[in-house]
């Protein structure tokens, strides 16, 4: 029960930060769809912003093994993801970058899960997939480094070509997730759920 309360409290905090960043971004940029950010990879990769659905492909495929995961794996993953996403919620509100000119998200129900136009500086899609692959590697589900690296490169590529995030968003997610995973930083796990 306490574990469900953790998730509920996190979701309320997340919703507050998500609403704040979208509202501030809309008012600051006056919803003009400015695209004034110099981005190294946006300038060099093709623009597939009309195919935004591609950003969810790798995330969904990488989540399939979770069906077979044991409870210890799931609890440790969720406790670490909550830490990463709390850091993300804070950073996306500290500096709000302009949205890409082709971002067309307008308060749809799934936006609260997949993100809005102004949630930059830290990619949630990349964070989730990267942490999943690190967990899969540490639990022996992924057994070679080239596969782990390949999944994350393809994921970063799709995120960048669809203009869902800037390059700095991927880099920040990589460093934060690496630090959190390497140092095993998690919200405290209630004794009831420990094996």
Which two three-digit tokens encode residue 17? 């930060």
pLDDT digits (tens, 9 = 90+) for 2-56: 777 877 887 888 888 877 877 777 776 665 555 567 778 888 899 888 888 888 8
Q: What is the pLDDT of residues 120-168, one digit of tens each?
A: 888 989 999 999 999 999 988 889 999 999 999 999 999 999 888 889 9
Is 192's pLDDT higher than 50? no
Q: Which of 46, 7, 24, 186 is nearest to 95 (CA)?
A: 24
Give the span between the Cα atoms of 144 and 24, in whole angstroms: 43
Q: Which two tokens stand for residue 76?
A: 């440790």
Domain boundaries, the chain: 2-32+40-189
* CB count in 10 Å sphere of residue 22: 22
Instruction: Report yes or no: 57 and 171 within 8 Å, Cβ to Cβ.
Output: no
For the chain, give the number of residues.
195
């Amino acid at each position: 029960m306490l574990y469900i309360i953790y998730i509920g409290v996190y979701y309320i905090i997340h919703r507050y930060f998500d609403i704040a960043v979208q509202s501030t971004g809309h008012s600051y940029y006056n919803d003009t769809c400015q695209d004034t950010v110099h981005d190294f990879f946006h300038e060099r990769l093709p623009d597939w912003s009309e195919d935004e659905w591609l950003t969810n492909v790798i995330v969904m495929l990488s989540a399939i093994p979770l069906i077979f995961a044991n409870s210890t794996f799931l609890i440790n993953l969720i406790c670490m993801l909550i830490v990463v996403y709390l850091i993300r919620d804070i950073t996306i509100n500290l500096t709000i970058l302009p949205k890409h000119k082709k971002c067309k998200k307008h308060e749809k129900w799934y936006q609260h899960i997949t993100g809005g136009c102004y949630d930059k500086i830290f990619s949630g899609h990349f964070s989730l997939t990267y942490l999943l692959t690190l967990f899969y590697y540490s639990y022996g589900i992924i057994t070679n480094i080239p596969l782990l690296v390949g999944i994350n490169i393809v994921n970063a590529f799709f995120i960048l070509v669809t203009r869902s995030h800037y390059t700095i968003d991927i880099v920040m997610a990589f460093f934060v997730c690496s630090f959190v995973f390497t140092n095993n930083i998690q919200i405290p796990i209630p004794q009831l759920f420990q094996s």
